Amino acid sequence: MKHHSNQEQFELTSPKTRNVVIADLDNIEVMHTKPKKKKKLGAVIAAVVICAALILAGAAVAFLYSGKDNLKRDVVIEAGSEIKIEDFFTTCPADAKFLTDVSAIDTKTPAVYMLKVGYGEFFAENVTLRIEDHTAPTGVAIPQTQFTQAKWPEATDCVTELYDLSGIASVNFKDELPKNSGTGDFNVIVLVSDIYSNVAEISVPFSVIDDHTAPVITGIKPLESDGDPDGLDFYVGVSVTDDYDKDPLIRVDDSKVDYSKNGVYEIIYKAIDVSGNICYETTTVTVTLPKDGAKKKNTGGGYSGTAKEIANKIFKDYGMKKGTDVATARAIFDYVHNNIWYQRIRGTQTYEGAAYRGFTRHSGDCYVYYACMKMLLDIAGIPNMKIQRKASSGSLHMWNLVKLNGAWYHCDATRYGYHLQGWFMCTDKQINDKYHRYDGYQYPERAGGSKEFKPSDTPTPIPTATPTPDPNNPTSTPTPTAGPTPTTDPAKPTNAPATPTPTTVQKPDDPTTTPVPATPTPAEDKPTPTPTPVPATATPKPTATPKPTPTPVPSGEE
Per the structure, the count of domains in the chain is 5
How many beta carbons lie within 10 A of that of residue 34, not counting itself? 7
Same domain, 273 and 403: no
Same domain, 318 and 450: yes
Residue 456's pLDDT is: 65
Query: Among candidates 165, 194, 132, which has minimal Cα distance to 558?
Result: 132
The answer as to whether 49 is a domain residue is: no
Residue 551's pLDDT is: 60
The answer as to whether 222 is a domain residue is: yes
pLDDT digits over 497-518, tens only? 333 333 333 333 333 333 333 3
**In contact, 203 and 192? CB cutoff 8 Å:** no
Confidence of residue 391 (pLDDT cuts 50, 70, 90): low
The answer as to whether 194 is a domain residue is: yes
How many beta carbons lie within 10 A of that of residue 525, not counting itself? 9
Same domain, 204 and 226: no
The answer as to whether 184 is a domain residue is: yes
The neighbouring-strand residues paired with 194 are 168
Same domain, 123 and 142: no
Average pLDDT, the chain: 75
423 pLDDT higher than 60: yes
Local structure of 355: helix, strand or coil: helix
Q: Collect all residues with Cβ–Cβ distance below 8 Å to 265 and sequence separation of at least 6.
A: 254, 256, 257, 258, 284, 285, 286, 287
Same domain, 240 and 338: no
Dist. CA 369–CA 358, nearest whole Å:
7
Confidence of residue 422 (pLDDT cuts 50, 70, 90): confident
Same domain, 153 and 253: no
The answer as to whether 64 is a domain residue is: no
552 pLDDT higher than 80: no
Instruction: Give CA separation, 43 vs 107, 228, 393, in Å.
Output: 62, 128, 108
Residue 8's pLDDT is: 46
Q: What is the DSSP string of 203-255?
A: EEEEEEE---PPPEEE----EEESS-GGG--TTTT-EEE-SS-SS-EEEEE-T
Q: Which residue has the higher pLDDT, 491 or 66?
A: 66
Same domain, 378 and 447: yes
Among 78-82, 412-416, 518-522, the minimum mean pLDDT is found in: 518-522
Last residue of one domain, picked from the residues 185, 209, 233: 209
Which CATH number does the domain housing residue 79 bear? 2.60.40
Same domain, 369 and 508: yes
Query: Among candidates 430, 404, 384, 246, which has minimal Cα distance to 328?
Result: 404
Q: What is the DSSP string of 174-195?
A: SS---TTS-SEEEEEEEEEEET
Give me the domain span that covers residue 13.
2-35
Instruction: Give CA separation, 319 vs 53, 335, 368, 468, in Å.
Output: 90, 11, 22, 29
Q: Collect all residues with Cβ–Cβ distance below 8 Å to 187 and sequence separation of at least 6.
A: 203, 204, 205, 206
Same domain, 97 and 163: no
**In contact, 276 and 217? CB cutoff 8 Å:** no
The answer as to whether 411 is a domain residue is: yes
Same domain, 192 and 330: no
pTM of structure: 0.43
The answer as to whether 293 is a domain residue is: no
Same domain, 479 and 414: yes
Residue 66's pLDDT is: 53
Local structure of 425: helix, strand or coil: strand
Same domain, 481 and 388: yes
Among 18-22, 389-393, 500-504, the minimum mean pLDDT is found in: 500-504
Q: What is the 3-state secondary structure (H, E, C) of 497-519?
A: CCCCCCCCCCCCCCHHHCCECCC
Residue 369's pLDDT is: 95
Which CATH number does the domain housing residue 245 bear? 2.60.40.10
